[in-house]
Amino acid sequence: MEDKYKCPYCGGTGKELVSGPEWNDYYETCEHCHGSGKKMIEVSMEDYENAHKDEKQKEREQLYKKAIEKWGKELQITLAIEEMSELQKELCKYLRGDRNRSAILEEITDVEIMIEQIKIMLNIDELNIKELKEYKINRLKKRIEGR
């Protein structure tokens, strides 16, 4: 139950759940800021998953770094190119009438894994990608709207 509620001040999870005067009021002791009697807010499953995403992402980054260390940058970049080629091949098959969505899904996944490794190898910051992506999405929007 303690992972279901978070502190509105620091985002930490509460320990001892006590019902407040309203049906959705909960008061707890925060694990992180050690505040007592602070009102906690219920978090959705999506919020819960996002809070734990950082841990998963760190584990994946460590795995990607081990792969880069084991096989080297050159081989991993070569594999990234191969995976992009396999995705290209499956998309061409799709255009010819082979509706193999599962093969396309598999190749997209492989490409995304290799892109994550490329970002590590080339020290590409996620914030830079997000900013550039936002710029390009806005540019696309303007082109669609004819501006």
Q: What is the pLDDT of residues 84-120, one digit of tens each?
A: 999 999 999 999 999 899 999 999 999 999 999 999 9
pLDDT given at position 61: 93
pLDDT given at position 127: 85
Q: How far apart are CA 113 and CA 76, in angstroms?
A: 11
- The answer to whether 6 and 14 have CB atoms below 8 angstroms apart is yes
- Specify the pTM: 0.63
Low-confidence residues of the chain: pLDDT under 50: 1-3, 18-27, 36-40
pLDDT given at position 9: 59
In Å, what is the CA distance from 30 to each residue of 55, 113, 121, 135?
Answer: 20, 36, 38, 39
**Two tokens, residue 62:** 């460590």
**Two tokens, residue 51:** 């809070």
pLDDT given at position 7: 62
Q: Side-chain half-sphere of 8: how many Cα atoms within 13 Å?
A: 9
What sign has the CA pseudo-torsion 107, 91, 130, 70? positive
